[in-house]
Chain A
Amino acid sequence: MIETWLLWLFAGTSVAAAVLMLLLSHPMRVALALIATMLSLAGVYALLGVHVIAVFQVLIYVGAVMVFMVYAIMLLDVGDRALTRRFSRLLLPGVAAALLFLAILAHALWSALPAANGVSGGAALFGLKQFSLEFLGVYWLQFELVSVLLVAVVVAALAVLEVGRKYRG
């Protein structure tokens, strides 16, 4: 069944690109690896039938967040020692802690979750119309709270810039 194979392919690509993120040294390559992860996750979402989330994954994450990140990388092109020495001195404890964390997480998930049923059609529930009706009909309060959060972020970003201006005199 080709959908299951594609699902494996996209999930494997996302994990491989995430591993690549840890190994590459230049931030721009790390950003490209992260974009690869996000695009393959969008493929996973589309295969799961959650098309709205797949579209927003590409639009918001790759289109907005990562473009912002790439701009920041180009703006901050300082060749300091963070470029030549990738890893901090916490490398070995970090790897050990991450493996331990993954083992605990896998154990908890393995014992708590029922067996997954693979690819099944979710398009009936997660089409754009049904999703929008549910989103703005039931979850309108969360929607409004998120807009308040966005206003707070705009104010905070302006405040940070103001601090920088004051610091420079």
Chain B
Amino acid sequence: MLIATAATLFALGLLGIIVRRNVLVMLMCMELMLNGVNLALVTFAQQTATAAGAVLVLLVFVVATAEIAIAIPIVLLLVRRKNELDVDAYADLKG
């Protein structure tokens, strides 16, 4: 049941990244995906009674913090350029 919850949180976060426009909301949906992964790790660690999963959760915490600490300044720079939070405004690169 908790694994199903974790998978649902991950899928909802992925859906949020795809369907929302706001850059900050997309970042928060990324955090939601990481939370889903954390829930799965904790559940596995608790079911197998090993500490490795819980240690991995702490490392995921650090990675999430690092991701936000890099992403927010990048978003700040983007918004300073065009004064817009819509990702479609930054579709300048043509592939």
Q: Produce 1/0 per residue, A115-149, CB < 8 A to B.
A: 01100101001100011001100110010001001
Cβ contact within 8 Å between A113 and B21: no
Residues on B with C-beta less than 8 A from A76 are 24, 75-76, 79, 85
- Nearest to B61 among chain A residues (CB) is A60
Interface secondary structure of A, over-half rule: helix
Cβ contact within 8 Å between B84 and A78: yes
Cβ contact within 8 Å between B46 and A48: yes
Cβ contact within 8 Å between B21 and A85: yes
Q: Produce 1/0 per residue, A48-77, CB < 8 A to B.
A: 111011001100110011001100110110
Residues on A with C-beta less than 8 A from B72 are 68-69, 72
Given contacts A60-B65, A61-B64, A160-B73, contact A22 B86 (CB under 8 A): no
Residues on A with C-beta less than 8 A from B38 are 41, 53, 57
Interface secondary structure of B, over-half rule: helix
Q: Produce 1/0 per residue, B75-88, CB < 8 A to A.
A: 11101110111111
Distance between Cα atoms of A56 and B80 in the complex (Å):
33
Q: Produce 1/0 per residue, B26-56, CB < 8 A to A.
A: 0111011001001100110111011110110
- Nearest to B19 among chain A residues (CB) is A94
Say yes or no for A6: interface residue by CB 8 A criterion. Answer: no
Cβ contact within 8 Å between A117 and B47: yes
Residues on B with C-beta less than 8 A from A101 are 11, 14
Cβ contact within 8 Å between A65 and B68: yes
Distance between Cα atoms of A120 and B47 in the complex (Å):
8
Residues on B with C-beta less than 8 A from A64 are 65
Q: Which 8 A-B pairs have the closest CB atoms?
A: A94-B18, A98-B15, A82-B86, A153-B66, A102-B11, A94-B19, A82-B22, A134-B51
